[in-house]
Amino acid sequence: REGYNVVAAARRLGLTRETLRYRMARHNLQRQNAPR
């Protein structure tokens, strides 16, 4: 829903950007590059 915007996704989940990135790393989820 938030596309590639980590800040917007974190805000929607009620998390900080750092917490979202930590949780993604903990579950071996990586950001994909945005399509051009």
pLDDT tens, residue by residue, 18-36:
999 999 999 998 877 767 7
pLDDT of 1-21, one tens digit each? Answer: 777 788 999 999 999 999 999
| DSSP calls for 8-24 | HHHHHHT--HHHHHHHH
CA distance 27 to 30: 9
Q: Residue 28: CB partners within 8 Å, gap ≥ 6?
A: none
pTM (predicted TM-score): 0.68
pLDDT at position 12, please? 95
> So where are the chain's domains?
1-36
